[in-house]
Amino acid sequence: MGDIRVRNLVGDERLCREMAIHENNREHLNDFIRLNEEWISKYFSIEQTDRDLAADPARIIEEGGYIFSLVTEGKVVGVCALFNKGDGVYELARMAVSPHYQGRGYGRALMQTCLDKVREIKAQKVYLVSNTNLEAAIALYQKSGFVTVRTGQHPVYSRGNIVMELIDT
């Protein structure tokens, strides 16, 4: 555990100096849930799956996944996770940046960290579930190499209507 040096941020040294990204820092689990519930409540409704995760967010790490937390100004302002689905398959999920810190490249930094991790662990497949109304998120996913593999109602998340997969992991 420790800080992760974020690479390939299009030369934005200022961004790299003002923030740090931590991997699997259990002290940040409450922030992980807080930030996720904040964005979900803004656009959708908290679902049973969300409540189950909130009751035991450490299970992501315990099941071989990763939680990344972006810290700036002494507080966690962004998070993202890779859920280990088994057999080299990972779900990129729960990406959230506090509304007060959006527009600063933090989502891009979290995405880059996740992409670096999936390459490091040689993931066979990486996918995500989102909603087409989240236009900024969809644009970030597309710029990061994700392509749409399915649209329509998701069987687990009622808020999900698009599944995207990373090409060329």
pLDDT tens-digit profile of 26-49?
999 999 999 999 999 999 999 999
Q: What is the SS3 string spanning 34-78?
A: HHHHHHHHHHCCCCHHHHHHHHCCCHHHHCCCEEEEEEECCEEEE
- 13 burial (CB, 10 Å; 0-12 / 13-18 / 19+) is exposed
Tell whether domain 3-124 is in CATH 3.90.1300.10: no
What pTM does this model have?
Answer: 0.89
Instruction: Supply the pLDDT for residue 10.
Output: 39
> Mean pLDDT for the chain?
91
Tell me: the pLDDT tens digits for 75-107? 999 999 999 999 999 999 999 999 999 999 999
User: How many angstroms separate the CA atoms of 45 and 85, rounded?
Assistant: 24
Confidence category of residue 156, pLDDT binned at 50, 70, 90: confident
User: How many angstroms separate the CA atoms of 71 and 97, rounded?
Assistant: 11
